[in-house]
Chain A
Amino acid sequence: MSIVWPVDVAPALADLTEISSQVDAAAVVDADGAVLGSTLAAELETERLVRAGVGLLEAATSRFGSSGRSVTQLEAALREGSLFVVREEGLGIVARTSAGPSSGLVLYDLRTCLRAVAATKKKSSKPRSRAAKKPEAADA
């Protein structure tokens, strides 16, 4: 698993942790599972979180998905806490919360974060507009 930072996802993650007090940690990944950003400082911990989330999504899709449908969101609720995974617009987010979170609210906040990242990604991948054309016959 590689950690690359081609898109600045820090503002979206900062907004997420500010809005959703239930989220302990979160990481945004691209379609290949490469980490785009994380709230965790430790790389190893980020990898553990992402590996669990991506593995969970893949396992759930292969077990319960079919050609017509795939898993887009999931919550694994354990005694120690909950793990959330949301996939949207070619991006994914894995988040860890304390035990007994308000699942609906957390999922909503995660989707909002992903949409903000997707908007940033679109903006950064857009070709820069050329400087205003010089009039060809300026001195004519």
Chain B
Amino acid sequence: MRKLLLFALLIGGLFYLKRRREAGREHIHLHFDDGSTVTLADDGLDAQPLLALARPAL
């Protein structure tokens, strides 16, 4: 039981850290009229020109 609890804590902690790291990264999130969405991470070539367009407003 104790091992299971430790394992669950470990998985939860890793998941939390992953979410935190992703939230801190620059990205572009697009929603389309057909209901689909696209997320462009800052390390992708597609996101850079769009991030550069947004920067002056911030």
- A78 contacts the other chain (CB 8 A): yes
Residues of B within 8 A of A70 (CB): 32-33
Docked-complex contact B50 and A78, CB < 8 angstroms: no
Q: Do A100 and B28 touch (CB < 8 A)?
A: no
Q: Which of under 10, 10 to 19, 20 to 34, or 35 or more describes the interface residues of B?
A: 20 to 34
Whether B28 and A69, one on each chain, are in contact in the complex, defined by CB atoms closer than 8 angstroms, is no
Residue among B29, B30, B46, B55 making CB contact with A78, cutoff 8 Å: B55
Give B3-40 as 1s and 0s: 1 = Cβ < 8 Å from A's Cβ atoms. 00000000000000000000111111111111010100
Query: Interface of chain A, helix or strand or loop or mixed?
Result: mixed
Q: Check if B54 sits within 8 Å of A52, measured CB to CB.
A: yes
How many residues of chain A get a CB closer than 8 Å to chain B's CBs?
A: 33
Chain A residues lying within 8 Å of B25, measured Cβ to Cβ, are: 77
Chain A neighbourhood of B23, CB < 8 A = 100
CB A13 to nearest CB in B, in angstroms, measures 17
Contact of B26 with A78 in the complex, beta carbons under 8 Å: yes
**CB of A4 within 8 Å of the partner chain:** no
> CB within 8 A of A59: which of B33, B50, B55, B56?
B50
Can you identify 17 A-B contacts, CB atoms within 8 angstroms? A52-B56, A52-B57, A59-B49, A59-B53, A60-B30, A69-B36, A70-B32, A72-B33, A74-B28, A74-B29, A75-B28, A77-B26, A79-B26, A94-B57, A96-B57, A100-B24, A107-B31
* Residues in B lying within 8 Å of A, measured CB to CB: 23-34, 36, 38, 46, 49-51, 53-58
